[in-house]
Chains A and B, each alone.
Chain A
Protein backbone atom coordinates (compact mmCIF):
# COMPACT_ATOMS: atom_id res chain seq x y z
CA UNK A 1 0.00 0.00 0.00
CA UNK A 2 1.16 3.54 -0.77
CA UNK A 3 -0.48 6.22 1.38
CA UNK A 4 -0.56 9.85 0.30
CA UNK A 5 -2.01 12.70 2.37
CA UNK A 6 -4.78 14.91 1.04
CA UNK A 7 -4.77 18.07 -1.02
CA UNK A 8 -2.86 21.32 -0.79
CA UNK A 9 -3.52 24.86 -2.02
CA UNK A 10 -0.46 27.08 -2.47
CA UNK A 11 0.24 30.41 -4.13
CA UNK A 12 2.47 30.82 -7.18
CA UNK A 13 6.13 31.02 -6.21
CA UNK A 14 5.64 29.13 -2.95
CA UNK A 15 7.13 25.80 -1.90
CA UNK A 16 5.53 22.55 -0.81
CA UNK A 17 6.66 19.09 0.28
CA UNK A 18 4.43 16.08 -0.35
CA UNK A 19 4.96 12.59 0.97
CA UNK A 20 4.25 8.94 0.21
CA UNK A 21 4.36 6.27 2.92
CA UNK A 22 4.71 2.62 2.04
CA UNK A 23 3.46 -0.43 3.88
CA UNK A 24 3.05 -4.12 3.16
CA UNK A 25 6.30 -4.55 1.26
CA UNK A 26 10.04 -4.08 1.79
CA UNK A 27 10.28 -0.42 0.83
CA UNK A 28 14.08 -0.22 0.68
CA UNK A 29 14.16 -2.92 -2.00
CA UNK A 30 12.23 -0.82 -4.53
CA UNK A 31 12.92 2.20 -6.69
CA UNK A 32 10.07 4.69 -6.83
CA UNK A 33 8.58 7.29 -9.16
CA UNK A 34 6.47 10.43 -8.95
CA UNK A 35 3.89 10.85 -11.72
CA UNK A 36 1.46 13.75 -12.05
CA UNK A 37 -1.80 14.37 -13.87
CA UNK A 38 -3.08 17.88 -14.54
CA UNK A 39 -6.89 18.34 -14.52
CA UNK A 40 -8.39 16.64 -17.57
CA UNK A 41 -4.95 15.77 -18.94
CA UNK A 42 -2.77 12.70 -19.31
CA UNK A 43 -0.08 11.21 -17.13
CA UNK A 44 3.31 12.93 -16.89
CA UNK A 45 6.35 11.29 -15.34
CA UNK A 46 8.05 13.65 -12.86
CA UNK A 47 10.91 11.90 -11.06
CA UNK A 48 12.64 8.61 -10.22
CA UNK A 49 14.66 7.60 -7.17
CA UNK A 50 16.54 4.32 -6.82
CA UNK A 51 16.06 2.06 -3.80
CA UNK A 52 19.09 3.51 -2.01
CA UNK A 53 18.46 7.07 -3.17
CA UNK A 54 21.79 7.17 -4.97
CA UNK A 55 20.28 7.48 -8.46
CA UNK A 56 17.80 10.26 -9.20
CA UNK A 57 16.25 11.55 -12.43
CA UNK A 58 13.84 14.40 -13.20
CA UNK A 59 11.62 15.47 -16.07
CA UNK A 60 12.88 18.61 -17.82
CA UNK A 61 9.71 20.46 -16.76
CA UNK A 62 10.64 20.25 -13.06
CA UNK A 63 14.44 19.99 -13.11
CA UNK A 64 16.01 22.55 -10.81
CA UNK A 65 12.72 23.22 -8.98
CA UNK A 66 11.73 19.80 -7.60
CA UNK A 67 13.78 17.50 -5.34
CA UNK A 68 12.95 13.87 -4.65
CA UNK A 69 14.21 12.08 -1.55
CA UNK A 70 13.45 9.05 0.57
CA UNK A 71 13.85 7.89 4.16
CA UNK A 72 13.95 4.10 4.12
CA UNK A 73 13.85 3.98 7.92
CA UNK A 74 10.43 5.66 7.74
CA UNK A 75 9.29 3.77 4.59
CA UNK A 76 8.68 7.14 3.01
CA UNK A 77 9.43 9.12 -0.13
CA UNK A 78 9.13 12.87 -0.54
CA UNK A 79 8.83 15.45 -3.30
CA UNK A 80 9.93 18.95 -2.42
CA UNK A 81 8.57 21.49 -4.89
CA UNK A 82 9.84 25.07 -5.17
CA UNK A 83 8.88 28.10 -7.27
CA UNK A 84 5.52 26.52 -7.93
CA UNK A 85 3.62 27.63 -11.03
CA UNK A 86 -0.01 27.37 -12.09
CA UNK A 87 1.00 24.65 -14.56
CA UNK A 88 2.20 22.49 -11.66
CA UNK A 89 -1.44 22.10 -10.58
CA UNK A 90 -2.11 18.36 -10.70
CA UNK A 91 -2.73 15.15 -8.83
CA UNK A 92 0.67 13.82 -7.82
CA UNK A 93 0.94 10.02 -7.61
CA UNK A 94 3.75 8.00 -6.11
CA UNK A 95 4.31 4.69 -7.91
CA UNK A 96 6.52 1.70 -7.22
CA UNK A 97 9.05 0.82 -9.91
CA UNK A 98 9.40 -2.94 -10.26
CA UNK A 99 8.06 -2.96 -12.92
CA UNK A 100 7.30 0.78 -13.29
CA UNK A 101 3.83 1.54 -11.93
CA UNK A 102 2.99 -1.86 -10.47
CA UNK A 103 1.63 -0.15 -7.34
CA UNK A 104 0.21 3.37 -7.07
CA UNK A 105 -0.80 5.68 -4.26
CA UNK A 106 -4.22 7.33 -4.33
CA UNK A 107 -2.68 10.68 -5.24
CA UNK A 108 -2.21 14.09 -3.60
CA UNK A 109 -3.97 17.09 -5.11
CA UNK A 110 -1.75 20.15 -5.48
CA UNK A 111 -3.42 23.39 -6.56
CA UNK A 112 -1.24 26.40 -7.35
CA UNK A 113 -3.40 29.50 -7.45
CA UNK A 114 -3.53 33.01 -6.08
Chain B
Protein backbone atom coordinates (compact mmCIF):
# COMPACT_ATOMS: atom_id res chain seq x y z
CA UNK B 1 0.00 0.00 0.00
CA UNK B 2 1.64 3.25 -1.13
CA UNK B 3 1.54 6.30 1.10
CA UNK B 4 -1.01 8.98 0.30
CA UNK B 5 0.46 12.02 -1.46
CA UNK B 6 0.73 15.30 0.43
CA UNK B 7 2.73 18.44 -0.41
CA UNK B 8 5.97 18.54 1.55
CA UNK B 9 5.37 22.06 2.81
CA UNK B 10 2.78 24.82 2.91
CA UNK B 11 3.21 28.29 4.36
CA UNK B 12 1.03 31.28 5.14
CA UNK B 13 0.92 34.49 7.12
CA UNK B 14 -0.99 34.88 10.39
CA UNK B 15 -4.71 35.28 9.73
CA UNK B 16 -4.55 33.72 6.27
CA UNK B 17 -6.16 30.45 5.17
CA UNK B 18 -4.19 27.52 3.82
CA UNK B 19 -5.17 24.13 2.43
CA UNK B 20 -3.32 20.83 2.45
CA UNK B 21 -4.20 18.19 -0.12
CA UNK B 22 -4.08 14.41 0.34
CA UNK B 23 -4.31 12.34 -2.82
CA UNK B 24 -4.91 8.62 -2.89
CA UNK B 25 -6.80 6.16 -5.07
CA UNK B 26 -10.24 4.61 -5.36
CA UNK B 27 -8.96 1.87 -3.02
CA UNK B 28 -8.50 4.28 -0.14
CA UNK B 29 -9.42 7.99 -0.10
CA UNK B 30 -11.85 7.78 -3.00
CA UNK B 31 -13.52 4.59 -1.84
CA UNK B 32 -14.33 5.36 1.77
CA UNK B 33 -15.37 8.33 3.90
CA UNK B 34 -12.80 7.32 6.53
CA UNK B 35 -10.22 10.05 6.03
CA UNK B 36 -8.59 11.56 9.12
CA UNK B 37 -6.18 14.44 9.70
CA UNK B 38 -3.57 14.69 12.45
CA UNK B 39 -1.40 17.50 13.78
CA UNK B 40 2.04 16.75 15.21
CA UNK B 41 4.29 19.22 16.97
CA UNK B 42 8.01 18.33 17.26
CA UNK B 43 8.70 15.65 19.85
CA UNK B 44 5.02 15.09 20.54
CA UNK B 45 2.53 12.37 19.70
CA UNK B 46 0.09 13.11 16.87
CA UNK B 47 -3.26 14.70 17.71
CA UNK B 48 -6.48 13.85 15.88
CA UNK B 49 -8.05 16.91 14.25
CA UNK B 50 -10.61 15.57 11.75
CA UNK B 51 -12.16 12.14 11.14
CA UNK B 52 -14.69 10.73 8.66
CA UNK B 53 -13.60 13.47 6.24
CA UNK B 54 -15.36 16.40 7.92
CA UNK B 55 -15.96 15.67 11.63
CA UNK B 56 -13.86 17.71 14.06
CA UNK B 57 -12.48 15.83 17.03
CA UNK B 58 -13.58 16.97 20.47
CA UNK B 59 -12.00 20.27 21.48
CA UNK B 60 -10.57 21.06 18.05
CA UNK B 61 -11.01 24.64 16.85
CA UNK B 62 -13.54 25.30 14.09
CA UNK B 63 -10.68 26.95 12.20
CA UNK B 64 -9.85 23.41 11.04
CA UNK B 65 -12.11 21.88 8.40
CA UNK B 66 -11.97 18.87 6.09
CA UNK B 67 -13.41 17.99 2.71
CA UNK B 68 -13.08 15.41 -0.05
CA UNK B 69 -13.59 15.28 -3.79
CA UNK B 70 -12.91 12.06 -5.64
CA UNK B 71 -9.55 10.62 -4.65
CA UNK B 72 -8.34 13.83 -2.97
CA UNK B 73 -9.08 15.01 0.56
CA UNK B 74 -8.19 18.44 1.89
CA UNK B 75 -7.58 20.08 5.25
CA UNK B 76 -8.17 23.82 5.47
CA UNK B 77 -6.81 25.94 8.30
CA UNK B 78 -8.39 29.37 8.48
CA UNK B 79 -7.18 32.31 10.56
CA UNK B 80 -3.67 30.84 10.66
CA UNK B 81 -1.98 31.19 14.08
CA UNK B 82 1.60 30.74 15.24
CA UNK B 83 0.70 27.56 17.14
CA UNK B 84 -0.55 25.99 13.90
CA UNK B 85 3.08 25.59 12.84
CA UNK B 86 3.48 21.80 12.87
CA UNK B 87 3.45 18.68 10.70
CA UNK B 88 0.10 17.50 9.37
CA UNK B 89 -0.76 13.97 8.25
CA UNK B 90 -3.78 12.53 6.52
CA UNK B 91 -4.82 8.90 6.81
CA UNK B 92 -7.39 6.68 5.15
CA UNK B 93 -8.96 3.29 5.57
CA UNK B 94 -8.12 1.01 2.62
CA UNK B 95 -9.73 -1.83 0.70
CA UNK B 96 -7.24 -4.19 2.39
CA UNK B 97 -8.73 -3.32 5.81
CA UNK B 98 -5.56 -1.45 6.69
CA UNK B 99 -4.73 2.19 7.36
CA UNK B 100 -2.44 4.28 5.19
CA UNK B 101 -0.91 7.65 6.06
CA UNK B 102 0.21 10.51 3.87
CA UNK B 103 3.86 11.52 3.78
CA UNK B 104 3.18 14.58 5.91
CA UNK B 105 3.09 18.34 5.29
CA UNK B 106 5.16 20.87 7.23
CA UNK B 107 3.12 24.04 7.83
CA UNK B 108 5.13 27.21 8.37
CA UNK B 109 3.59 30.41 9.70
CA UNK B 110 5.52 33.29 8.17
Interface residues of A (CB under 8 A from B): 33, 35, 42-45, 48, 57, 59-60, 93, 95, 99-102, 104-107
Could you give 10 example pairs across A and B, Cβ below 8 Å?
Answer: A35-B101, A42-B87, A42-B89, A43-B91, A45-B91, A48-B97, A99-B57, A101-B36, A101-B46, A107-B45
Q: Is the interface of B mostly helix, strand, loop or mixed?
A: strand
- List chain A residues, Cβ under 8 A from B100: 45
Whether the pair B91, A100 counts as a contact (CB closer than 8 A) is: yes
Chief secondary structure at chain A's binding surface: strand
Query: Does B18 lie at the interface of the complex (its beta carbon under 8 Å from any beta carbon of A)?
Result: no
B103 on the A face (CB < 8 A): yes
Give the Cβ gap from A110 to chain B, nearest Cβ, in Å.
15
Chain A residues lying within 8 Å of B95, measured Cβ to Cβ, are none
Are B97 and A45 interface neighbours, CB within 8 A? no
* Distance of A114 from chain B, by nearest CB (Å): 27
Inter-chain contact A33/B45, CB cutoff 8 Å: no
Identify A99's interface contact among B51, B97, B103, CB under 8 A: B51
Give the CA-CA distance A106 to B38 in the complex, in Å.
15
Given contacts A100-B36, A100-B91, contact A106 B45 (CB under 8 A): yes
A100-B52 contact, Cβ under 8 Å, with A42-B104, A60-B1, A107-B45? no
Neighbouring A residues of B93 by C-beta, 8 Å: 100
Q: Mark B72-102, 1 if CB is under 8 A from A, else 0.
A: 0000000000000001010101001111111
Q: Answer whether residue B48 sits at the interface, using C-beta atoms and an 8 A cutoff.
A: yes
Does B109 belong to the interface (CB within 8 Å)? no
Whether B89 lies near A45 (C-beta < 8 A) is: no
Proximity string of chain B (1-36) to chain A, C-beta cutoff 8 Å, 1 when within and 0 when not: 101000000000000000000000000000000101
Q: A44-B101, A48-B98, A59-B98 are in contact. Are A104 and B91 (CB under 8 A)?
A: no
